[in-house]
Structure 1
Amino acid sequence: MAGPTSGAATAGGVPSAAPPVAMPAEEHLDMRKLVTFLLMVLGMFMAILDIQIVSASLPEIQAGLGASSDEIPWIQTSYLIAEVIMIPLSGYLSRMLSTRWLFTISAGGFTVMSVLCGLSNSMGEMILWRTLQGFLGGAMIPMVFASAYTIFPRSKMHIVSPLIGLVATLAPTIGPTLGGYLTEFLSWHWLFFINVVPGIVVTLAAFFLIDFDKPDLSLLSRFDWWGFLGLAVFLGTMEYVLEEGAADDWFAEPTIVMMTAIMTLGGFLFFWRAFTAEEPIVRLDAFTDRNFAMGSIFSFGLGIGLYGMIYIFPVYLSGVRGHNSLQIGETMMVTGVAMFLTAPIAGRLVQSVDLRLVMGVGFALFALSAWMMTGLTDDWDYWEIFLPQVLRGISLMLCMVPVSNIALGMLPPEQVKNASGLFNLTRNLGGAVGLALINTILSNREDVHFARLAESVNGANDSAAGALATLTQAFAGLGDAAESAAYATLARMVSVQAMVMSLIDLFVLLTGLFLGLAFLLFFVQRPAIGGGGGGGGH
């Protein structure tokens, strides 16, 4: 297991068994590698951004393509399914093709698909190009994490770690805001065209600048096609079930039952090949490292918190407060600003403080942020949710920077590529599972609260009777329809209160989740201060 006694590094960040000539490399930050890495991070930013950038503009895309309400969610679902398949596969492909060629293909393909998405004239075209965009772009995300932990010395990880942590959390946070602005002032086509110029830059940079490793084309002849089939079926159907299950009442819908059965078969095939194939496309041996396993659990939990909150706040701001996409984006930018300002602080902390303590503070702040929201009412707006959003932004950065160091920083270099795919997969799956649970809980609890509130809204309740009389008088101009309008308005008021109460239930659950994650830190082996690096590990 990785730890301070495993020969990973001395306190100064120099491998204990390294010859003296290795010391200058630990102190020197190669500027060519840094510039290359920054451009790779830009590619990762685009890939993560495109998950959420369309979310605030789906009605405009629907109108532009003449799509039905059932078809339009597939603009996001198709992207997510394809991306979640590529992320764990990227480790094998980057070993086979090299980081240079896979990143070039990924960035170039992502850019081309972005253009085709913007030029789409039908829903069928859009879904096809979004699927390919997600599949090709998905490889950039784990490759950035893997490169960070293989090309930079341990002593410089306080510069690199906050950068990838910031991008991983900031991109989905600002996605709906940026999408809203582009759609409002240009058109929905620019949700995709915005990728073209940076995509070309990243593609050229990847081709001309990346030289971190060499391809191993012998892996092509040993490619486990059955394992790939199992992986694609398992993760693809799982993403579908999680995305569509809540809306379709889960196993009451035959399609969900069928997809779950296919998912089970795909999972069996994938895990069978993972443990028996001569060269499995995804190696699971990284999970034998306790810190990687615990880091993956934390990443899963952070996925629930990150994507869950990005979903919950717009539900409240639009459904209760009646805000449009631009107002929602401007309100939620508070979290993004807090992340940005906290990133350098988090980088310094992981350099000098026990990573478990930094994460513990982060989990506690997230729990506090969620707990503050349990006082939610239907008249809370920008300033009432300002402090909880600031705390959430700070907490996400304090968690994301050390969690990647805990999970990947102590692994040997030959394991990092594959482990990076698994690590990033856990965050995406956490988001998918979290959103499915949130939608289910929100729907069920809203029904329960509405039923309970409706029981008390009757003629025997003086407050309800008074409110009904006031509303009837207000609608007096409608004549005989005044009483019906009053009842409808009262029902909407009860529905809003039921929604607020169900949101409070979710915030209570999120508080418990993050307190639980903080408790799990006791099972993490103490990693060396300063995080990971290319030479760390066993």
Structure 2
Amino acid sequence: MKNIEIRPLLGLLGVLIAALAAEFNDQVVGVVMPDLLGALGVSHDAGTWLDSLYVSGEVVGMCFAPWWMFTLSIRRFILGILVVNCATSVAIPHCTAIGGLYALRWLQGLSGGLTIPLLMATALRALPPPIRLWGLAVYALTATFTPNLAVTLAALWSDVVGWQFGFYESILLCTLAAMICATFLWRDPPHPERLHKFDWQGSLLAFVGLSALSTLLIQGDRLDWFNSPLISVLLLVSVVTLPLFVLHENRHPLPLVRMSLLKRPNLAYGVTALFTLLLINLAATSLPITYLVEVQGYRPLQAHLITLEVALSQLVFLPLMAVILNFERVDPRVVSFFGMCLFFIGCVGDSYITSAWNREQFYLWQMCFSLGLAMIVVPLLQMATNSIVPQEGPFASGLVNTPRAISEAVGIWLLDLINRRRGGLHSSRLTDQLGRRRFDVVQAHGYLPQHPTALLPDGSERFPHSLEWLSATVRAETTALTVSDAYLIFAGITLALIALLLILPVRTYPPRIALMKK
């Protein structure tokens, strides 16, 4: 421990702050979207492209980051990214043209995607084996702590100060990160000779294929999938280009992505499990917020207190996992198993939701999600990175983070699918049930009362004050039943992740032991 250098650790801190700023930009639009669209006079459908373009840029950036980091050097690369990130955060609130806003949002997504992989690559290089687990816990902050904190802060700015501050908050972080990185990161020389062997074919395939895939996942439900020519073309493009990209990368001397690393079982598990974990984590973030806002009428700041619970508890649970996993006799697969069990319990507990639930009913299950999240992600990163040497860190980081970005698009697609299929089914059933009740009243009384009786799903009879009340009741019950179904679906996905854990990864040890044995 006495031989640990301080400068690389301070440089890692700068990269961490840059990653936090990127995550804040990722989450902010979901909260301030109504205010942003209202200020510009833009419709909701046009506004959905702000999310879509950000995710497309982020996915492309995560794929390209390792190659350019090697070529330009990490210090030059991250300083350039921070300039773009800061500039877009300043410009977006003042942009009045929707086309310009689209371009700025895509650039912001690209800068965020280029930033996140640098954190893992820097951690693998800067942290010696005795403290490697602590660095992995720090990296895990970007997947667990930051997204939940970001939406809470965005809600605070939106409710108290102004929606513009949802973007301005990253400016201070970018400035601080740039100062630290410029001072303490390694001053590696650039390698311009790599530009002569630039993988332009792979870059073109990745850019087109990943952009098409993320766009069709996010926009597919809104455009009615294959009834839309755009979605049909995007599907064809992604089906053709992505397999070609994989084949091309296996043959190129300086590939963007080293697919051969996936032959290692623990890294393959890490890539797949992190993708699935972040997909499941939607159950702990999006679903409670959707319910509280739509059914109980919460303001964003009121609703996001439950995501703040998850964020703050990660500051305790992640270091705790680093301490526990540092014991040689602790098997990270066992810790992950119990974490997945907690996730499953949280999903099943929340599936009992009714239209009478408020914020207080979510707190216990949110704590299950929070502890389970830490118990899964830190062992996952330990198992995935123990098979990686520092020189392979950037490529491993690209492999891990690109599916992580795609999981955001898949999550949006899955929630839209659940809302359309299950929500439509529940709405039809409730409306039909109320219609039959109205018919029974007419049959019994010979007329329809001014305030007809509504038979609610719990079997009780109540007299609504108006048809508006009746419509609101149906919407509330439909939302509660749909959210319940979504939790059960995520519980099933958790069981699939448990099955993968039992099959794929092999036993590994703390980095201070495993890496010294090599």
Instruction: Give yes or no for the alignment of 1:374 onto 2:351.
Output: yes
Instruction: Give yes or no for the alignment of 1:360 onto 2:360.
Output: no
Residue-by-residue CA offset, 1:221-278 (whole Å, 9 max, x unaligned) = 1111111010001111111011111222221222111111122232144223212323
Partner of 1:150: 125
Residues 1:79 and 1:536: Cα distance change in structure 2 (over 3 Å)? farther
Instruction: Give yes or no for the alignment of 1:522 onto 2:502.
Output: yes
Task: Give the Å deviation of 1:508.
Answer: 0.9
Task: Give the Å deviation of 1:212.
Answer: 7.0
Residues 1:464 and 1:262: Cα distance change in structure 2 (over 3 Å)? farther
Residues 1:463 and 1:393: Cα distance change in structure 2 (over 3 Å)? farther
Partner of 2:415: 438
How do residues 389-400 of structure 1 correspond to structure 2 at under 5 angstroms? 389-400=366-377
Residue-by-residue CA offset, 1:308-350 (whole Å, 9 max, x unaligned) = 5322122111111111211111233222222222122111122
Task: Give the Å deviation of 1:208.
Answer: 2.4
How do residues 99-110 of structure 1 correspond to structure 2 at under 5 angstroms? 99-110=74-85
Q: CA RMSD in A?
A: 2.6
Residues 1:324 and 1:536: Cα distance change in structure 2 (over 3 Å)? farther
Partner of 1:336: 311
Distance 1:517 1:463 in 2: 48
Partner of 1:386: 363
Instruction: Give yes or no for the alignment of 1:82 onto 2:57.
Output: yes
Distance 2:393 2:264 in 1: 12
Residue-by-residue CA offset, 1:58-96 (whole Å, 9 max, x unaligned) = 111112222222221222222111011010211111111
Residues 1:512 and 1:212: Cα distance change in structure 2 (over 3 Å)? farther
Task: Give the Å deviation of 1:394.
Answer: 1.2
Distance 2:93 2:426 in 1: 43
**Is the Cα contact below 8 Å between 2:217 and 2:410 reproduced in 1?**
yes
Partner of 1:263: 238
Partner of 1:512: 492
With 149-158 and 448-457 compared, the bigger mean Cα shift is at 448-457
**Is the Cα contact below 8 Å between 1:302 and 1:427 reproduced in 2?**
no
Partner of 1:245: 220
Instruction: Give yes or no for the alignment of 1:489 onto 2:469.
Output: yes
Q: Which ranges of structure 1 fall in alignment gaps of 5 or more residues?
A: 1-25, 475-482
Distance 2:397 2:226 in 1: 33
How do residues 164-183 of structure 1 correspond to structure 2 at under 5 angstroms? 164-183=139-158
Partner of 1:292: 267
Alignment equivalent of 1:136, drawn from 103, 106, 111: 111
Q: What TM-score, normalized by structure 2, do the two folds share? A: 0.91
How do residues 381-460 of structure 1 correspond to structure 2 at under 5 angstroms? 381-460=358-437
Residue-by-residue CA offset, 1:149-197 (whole Å, 9 max, x unaligned) = 2221121023222222123211111222211211223222222222222
- 1:494 counterpart letter in structure 2: V
**Is the Cα contact below 8 Å between 1:408 and 1:532 reproduced in 2?**
no
Alignment equivalent of 1:54, drawn from 29, 50, 53: 29
- 1:112 counterpart letter in structure 2: A
Task: Give the Å deviation of 1:435.
Answer: 2.0
Counting matched residue pairs gives 504
With 218-227 and 118-127 compared, the bigger mean Cα shift is at 118-127
**Is the Cα contact below 8 Å between 1:165 and 1:400 reproduced in 2?**
yes
**Is the Cα contact below 8 Å between 2:12 and 2:126 reproduced in 1?**
no
- 1:261 counterpart letter in structure 2: L
**Is the Cα contact below 8 Å between 1:151 and 1:212 reproduced in 2?**
no
Residues 1:387 and 1:472: Cα distance change in structure 2 (over 3 Å)? same
Distance 1:282 1:487 in 2: 58
Distance 1:130 1:527 in 2: 42
Q: Which ranges of structure 2 fall in alignment gaps of 5 or more residues?
A: 455-462
Partner of 1:67: 42
- 2:366 counterpart letter in structure 1: Q
- 2:494 counterpart letter in structure 1: F
**Is the Cα contact below 8 Å between 1:356 and 1:524 reproduced in 2?**
no
- 1:116 counterpart letter in structure 2: A
**Is the Cα contact below 8 Å between 2:85 and 2:112 reproduced in 1?**
yes
Distance 1:410 1:272 in 2: 24
Task: Give the Å deviation of 1:472.
Answer: 4.9
Q: Percent identity, please.
A: 23
Distance 1:348 1:320 in 2: 41
Instruction: Give yes or no for the alignment of 1:92 onto 2:72.
Output: no
Distance 1:416 1:234 in 2: 24
**Is the Cα contact below 8 Å between 1:410 and 1:536 reproduced in 2?**
no
Residues 1:369 and 1:531: Cα distance change in structure 2 (over 3 Å)? farther
**Is the Cα contact below 8 Å between 1:161 and 1:401 reproduced in 2?**
yes
Task: Give the Å deviation of 1:533.
Answer: 9.7
How do residues 220-235 of structure 1 correspond to structure 2 at under 5 angstroms? 220-235=195-210
Q: What TM-score, normalized by structure 1, do the two folds share? A: 0.88
Residues 1:54 and 1:458: Cα distance change in structure 2 (over 3 Å)? closer
Distance 2:46 2:505 in 1: 47
Partner of 1:327: 302
Distance 1:402 1:208 in 2: 32
Partner of 2:184: 209
Distance 2:216 2:408 in 1: 13
Task: Give the Å deviation of 1:137.
Answer: 2.8
Distance 2:9 2:23 in 1: 21
Distance 2:210 2:22 in 1: 19
**Is the Cα contact below 8 Å between 2:427 and 2:475 reproduced in 1?**
yes
Residues 1:294 and 1:240: Cα distance change in structure 2 (over 3 Å)? same
Task: Give the Å deviation of 1:51.
Answer: 1.0
Residue-by-residue CA offset, 1:112-161 (whole Å, 9 max, x unaligned) = 22112233222222221121122123221111011112221121023222
Residues 1:27 and 1:521: Cα distance change in structure 2 (over 3 Å)? farther
**Is the Cα contact below 8 Å between 1:177 and 1:330 reproduced in 2?**
yes
Partner of 2:288: 313
Residues 1:527 and 1:112: Cα distance change in structure 2 (over 3 Å)? farther
Distance 2:3 2:94 in 1: 46
Alignment equivalent of 1:499, drawn from 454, 475, 479: 479
